[in-house]
């Protein structure tokens, strides 16, 4: 009986694994953006369900190899194990392997090159649009409408998916002490970060403004200028 139970457990485990891999294959069919982490170089990849040699068919948009030179070696895609999405060459060897780090966002590493991101194209373009809308001059104001600082959000890369931010002269002492140097959008929040490791988190409200969270009786609000 023990052997039978062990065999049944083994069979169920393999069935679950096969189902997970099958689900991942179905979920991956569609258009994806392959990019550097800061999205300075991008390439649209269309993953197809059609079987190809050693895997499944894909299409790369024109210009992919120019933006990302390793893309010239990508000939197909496949799922390996339970959670690895592989972009591979004509012989089935990996060009780059991706694993999911967030829902719909996959991360892969190429030795001596760095980290690359594979994410749903619609989500990537939505994020890019949101980023573009954030770039420019902002004012920090208190709940009573008093402006206490001006700052400029830029699209200049500051590393690790962050971008440079600059304070304008004559800011309130609390803002000057915080001294943010980097910003980014993350999970619907706008983050301001200092070189001291401090982070302020802002959430959008119904008035297209961003409020420091957690909220307080004397809120700090970012307003577009």
Residue 206: the pLDDT is: 62
Average pLDDT value over all residues in the chain = 85
- Residue 100 to residue 119: CA distance in whole angstroms: 9
* Interval 45-55: pLDDT, tens: 999 999 987 89
Distance CA 50, CA 28 (A): 12
What is the C-alpha separation between 121 and 116, in angstroms, rounded?
15
Closest CA to 165 of 12, 66, 175: 175
Which pTM was predicted?
0.58
How far does the chain reach from its first CA to its final CA, in angstroms? 74
pLDDT band, residue 154 (cuts 50/70/90): very high
CATH 3.30.559.10 fits 2-118, yes or no: no
Q: Which distant-in-sequence residues (6+ apart) come within 8 Å of 154 by Cβ?
A: 135, 163, 164, 165, 166
Buried b (16+ CB within 10 A) or exposed e, 153-188: beeeebeebbbbbebeeebeeebeebebbbbbeeee
> Residue 191 class from Cβ within 10 Å (0-12 exposed, 13-18 middle, 19+ buried)?
middle
Q: What is the pLDDT of residues 64-83, one digit of tens each?
A: 999 999 999 999 999 998 88
pLDDT in tens, 88-100: 999 999 999 999 9
């Amino acid at each position: 009986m023990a052997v039978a139970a062990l065999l049944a457990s083994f069979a169920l485990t393999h069935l679950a694994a096969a189902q997970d891999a099958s689900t991942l294959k179905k979920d991956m069919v569609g258009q994806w953006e392959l990019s550097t982490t800061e999205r300075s170089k991008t390439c649209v990849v269309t993953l197809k369900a059609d079987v190809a040699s050693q895997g499944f068919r894909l299409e790369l948009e024109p210009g992919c190899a120019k933006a990302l030179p390793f893309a010239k070696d990508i000939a197909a895609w496949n799922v390996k194990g339970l959670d690895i999405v592989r972009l591979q060459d004509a012989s089935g060897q990996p060009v780059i392997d991706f694993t999911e780090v967030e829902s719909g966002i996959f991360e892969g590493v190429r030795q001596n090159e760095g980290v690359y991101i594979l994410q749903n194209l619609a989500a990537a373009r939505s994020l890019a649009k949101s980023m573009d809308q954030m770039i420019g001059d902002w004012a920090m104001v208190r709940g009573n409408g008093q402006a206490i600082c001006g700052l400029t959000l830029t699209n200049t890369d500051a590393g690790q998916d962050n971008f440079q931010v600059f304070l304008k002269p004559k800011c309130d002492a609390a803002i000057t002490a915080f001294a943010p140097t980097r910003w980014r959008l993350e999970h619907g929040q706008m983050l301001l970060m200092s070189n001291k490791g401090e982070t302020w988190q802002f959430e959008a409200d119904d008035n297209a403004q961003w409020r420091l969270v957690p909220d307080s009786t004397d809120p700090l609000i970012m307003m577009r200028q």
